[in-house]
């Protein structure tokens, strides 16, 4: 039997305006510029506010005076007052233009480009720290300037850890980066090329380069043919292919090269600490077109046209409001990140603290999802390079006193305990948990210890035991 029933229920509905505000919030710098350009095309009420000369202002005053006589003056003035440019961050024309080229370290060099790729890779926090050590020791030509033994002594990381991370960095762009010598540089570029072409490496090419490269370098092809047993035609073919690779993959990265990522936020070190600036260089200041707004109050305009104009005015109002709110939220979140991660900005990546989205949200009295959206696809230029804003939210371990300890520090503690253990009676994961609880006040699960131990490439207690 069919019947009609009336029910009541609560349901959250996102209006088109709210959906637009959320989209603007999570857009990157480039996406935001495209969205503004698209909105300007679609909405005639919206226009770019141009800097006015005294003559323009005089003409505009006369025009407004003539218009106001024919329109409903009070309503229009109230409207204009409500939607005049906001002074949340100060009027742009009154602020001195910031020359970022003078106050921000160049961010388009090879090492910053490698750091950016490392930030987007699948490195865990421990590997990211190792990568920072390796990248810092890559010279301008793209080669590793020091041996892994020297880097190991300086950093305290094991050789096998450094080797594993270096192999991943050697797959970064530009091809050949991170090589220890010219031969390795050529082999890396060749392997990457074969992967891109989806071809198996030529065993003859690998044999010649690995075993007779010094002879090729001296252009001694006959000796290579004689010693390798490969025909001269094949030797020449390999020699010609080698010449297609770049012997100095890092040399194309100069200060004049355009950066691959446009930072949304700049953090600049000053005498008083660190200042935060939004990158608003390509973001135009928007305003409502006074002519169309005047038509909305003109009694000669028919109702259908007025309805269209009124709808477009509302859209323009909301777009400007959402844009300003996006910039304000981004600025406040960025500033809060700098305050929470001050040791990082002062000393470098090893001093990065555990931080949650919830911490920022509580401080700014906004929702956690808002912090998540405003840090998505956003990049921050710092004195140590360009980083995705999500990078500043590493996980941590809780201590009994309610403090948070970075996972990097916890891993170092585990490593230190194992190094000092009795090799004939090595510590089990449960014993490590108990020691960390007793001596350091760390609440950590056994499976977490096992996970960190694996990340450090440390075998189980049974495997470490020496009879």
> pLDDT-derived band of residue 178, with 50, 70 and 90 as boundaries?
very high
List Cβ neighbours of 344 (8 Å cut-off, separation of 6 or more). 351, 352, 353, 382, 384, 392
Please give the backbone phi and psi of residue 170, each rounded to the nearest 5 degrees, phi first. Answer: -70, -10
Is residue 395 within 8 A of residue 268, CB to CB? The reply is no
- The mean per-residue pLDDT over the stretch 441-463 comes to 81
> pLDDT-derived band of residue 191, with 50, 70 and 90 as boundaries?
very high
Q: For tokens 């490593």, what's the residue? A: 415
> pLDDT-derived band of residue 76, with 50, 70 and 90 as boundaries?
very low
The pair of three-digit structure tokens given for residue 438, joined into one six-digit string = 């007793």
Cα–Cα separations (whole angstroms), residue 63 to 45, 58, 72 = 18, 9, 15
Instruction: Convert the pLDDT of each residue in 112-126 to its tens digit.
Output: 889 888 888 888 888
The pair of three-digit structure tokens given for residue 414, joined into one six-digit string = 């585990």
Q: Which residue has the higher pLDDT, 462 or 304?
A: 304
Q: Which residue has the higher pLDDT, 44 or 462?
A: 44
Please state, in angstroms and rounded to a whole number, the distance separating the CA atoms of residues 393 and 136.
Answer: 22
Please state, in angstroms and rounded to a whole number, the distance separating the CA atoms of residues 338 and 382.
Answer: 10
| pLDDT beyond 90 at 348 | no
- The mean per-residue pLDDT over the stretch 75-97 comes to 40
Quote the pLDDT of residue 51. Answer: 64
Q: What is the mean pLDDT of the chain?
A: 79
Please state, in angstroms and rounded to a whole number, the distance separating the CA atoms of residues 174 and 177.
Answer: 6
Quote the pLDDT of residue 403. Answer: 58
The pair of three-digit structure tokens given for residue 54, joined into one six-digit string = 């005294």
> pLDDT-derived band of residue 25, with 50, 70 and 90 as boundaries?
confident
Is residue 249 within 8 A of residue 185, CB to CB? The reply is yes
Please give the backbone phi and psi of residue 212, each rounded to the nearest 5 degrees, phi first. Answer: -130, 25
The pair of three-digit structure tokens given for residue 190, joined into one six-digit string = 């060749």
Quote the pLDDT of residue 184. Answer: 93
| pLDDT beyond 60 at 223 | yes
The pair of three-digit structure tokens given for residue 211, joined into one six-digit string = 């075993």
Please state, in angstroms and rounded to a whole number, the distance separating the CA atoms of residues 364 and 367.
Answer: 9
> pLDDT-derived band of residue 466, with 50, 70 and 90 as boundaries?
low
Q: Which residue has the higher pLDDT, 339 or 376?
A: 339
Quote the pLDDT of residue 257. Answer: 43
> pLDDT-derived band of residue 96, with 50, 70 and 90 as boundaries?
very low
Which domains does the chain possess?
Answer: 16-84+276-391 (no CATH), 110-242 (1.10.10.1330), 396-464 (1.10.10.60)
- The mean per-residue pLDDT over the stretch 376-391 comes to 87
Q: For tokens 């000796």, what's the residue? A: 223
- The mean per-residue pLDDT over the stretch 349-360 comes to 81
Q: Which residue has the higher pLDDT, 373 or 62?
A: 373
Instruction: Convert the pLDDT of each residue in 283-295 to its tens digit.
Output: 888 888 888 777 7
| pLDDT beyond 60 at 262 | yes
Which of 22-26, 149-153, 259-263, 300-304 has maximum average pLDDT? 149-153
Q: How many CB atoms lie within 10 A of CB 292?
A: 18
Task: Look up residue 278 and give its DSSP letter.
Answer: E
> pLDDT-derived band of residue 55, with 50, 70 and 90 as boundaries?
low
Q: What's the number of CA atoms in the CB half-sphere (13 Å) around residue 292?
A: 19
Quote the pLDDT of residue 197. Answer: 86
Please state, in angstroms and rounded to a whole number, the distance separating the CA atoms of residues 153 and 467.
Answer: 29
Please state, in angstroms and rounded to a whole number, the distance separating the CA atoms of residues 18 and 13.
Answer: 9
Q: Which residue has the higher pLDDT, 267 or 220?
A: 267
- The mean per-residue pLDDT over the stretch 450-454 comes to 83
């Amino acid at each position: 039997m069919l019947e009609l029933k009336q029910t009541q229920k609560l349901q959250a509905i996102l209006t088109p305006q709210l959906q637009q505000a959320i989209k603007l919030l999570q857009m990157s710098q480039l996406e935001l510029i495209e969205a503004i350009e698209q909105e300007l095309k679609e909405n005639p009420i919206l226009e770019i506010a141009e800097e006015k000369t005294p003559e323009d202002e005089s003409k505009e005053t006369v025009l407004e005076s003539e218009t106001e006589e024919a329109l409903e003056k009070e309503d229009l003035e109230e409207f204009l007052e409500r939607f005049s440019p906001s002074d949340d961050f100060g009027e742009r024309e009154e602020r001195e233009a910031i020359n970022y080229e003078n106050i921000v370290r160049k961010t388009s060099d090879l090492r910053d480009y490698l750091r950016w790729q490392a930030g987007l890779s699948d490195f865990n926090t421990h590997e990211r720290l190792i990568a920072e050590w390796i990248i810092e020791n890559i010279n301008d030509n793209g080669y590793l300037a020091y041996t892994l033994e020297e880097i190991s002594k300086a950093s305290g990381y094991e050789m096998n850890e450094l080797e594993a991370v270096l192999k991943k960095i050697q797959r970064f762009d530009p091809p050949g980066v991170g090589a220890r010598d010219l031969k390795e540089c050529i082999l890396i570029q060749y392997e990457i090329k074969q992967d891109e072409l989806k071809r198996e490496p030529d065993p003859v090419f690998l044999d010649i380069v690995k075993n007779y490269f010094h002879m090729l370098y001296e252009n001694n092809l006959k000796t290579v043919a004689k010693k390798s047993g490969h025909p001269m035609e094949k030797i020449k073919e390999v020699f010609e292919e080698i010449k297609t690779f770049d012997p100095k993959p890092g040399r194309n990265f100069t200060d004049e090269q355009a950066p691959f990522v446009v930072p949304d936020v700049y953090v600049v070190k000053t005498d008083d600490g660190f200042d935060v600036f939004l990158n608003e260089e390509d973001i135009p200041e928007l305003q409502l077109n006074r002519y169309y707004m005047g038509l909305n109050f003109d009694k000669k305009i028919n109702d259908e046209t007025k309805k269209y104009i009124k709808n477009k005015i509302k859209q323009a109002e909301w777009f400007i409001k959402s844009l300003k709110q996006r910039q304000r939220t981004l600025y406040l979140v960025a500033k809060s990140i700098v305050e929470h991660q001050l040791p990082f900005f002062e000393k470098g990546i090893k001093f990065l603290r555990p931080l949650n989205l919830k911490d920022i949200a509580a401080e700014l009295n906004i929702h956690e999802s808002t912090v998540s959206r405003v840090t998505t696809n956003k990049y921050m230029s710092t004195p140590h390079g360009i980083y995705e804003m999500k990078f500043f939210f590493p996980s941590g371990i809780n201590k009994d006193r309610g403090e948070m300890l970075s996972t990097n520090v916890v891993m170092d503690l585990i490593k230190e305990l194992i190094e000092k253990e009795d090799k004939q009676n090595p510590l089990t994961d449960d014993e490590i948990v108990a020691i960390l609880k007793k001596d350091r006040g760390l609440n950590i699960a056994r499976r977490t210890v096992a996970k960190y131990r694996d990340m450090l490439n440390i075998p189980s207690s049974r495997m470490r035991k020496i009879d």
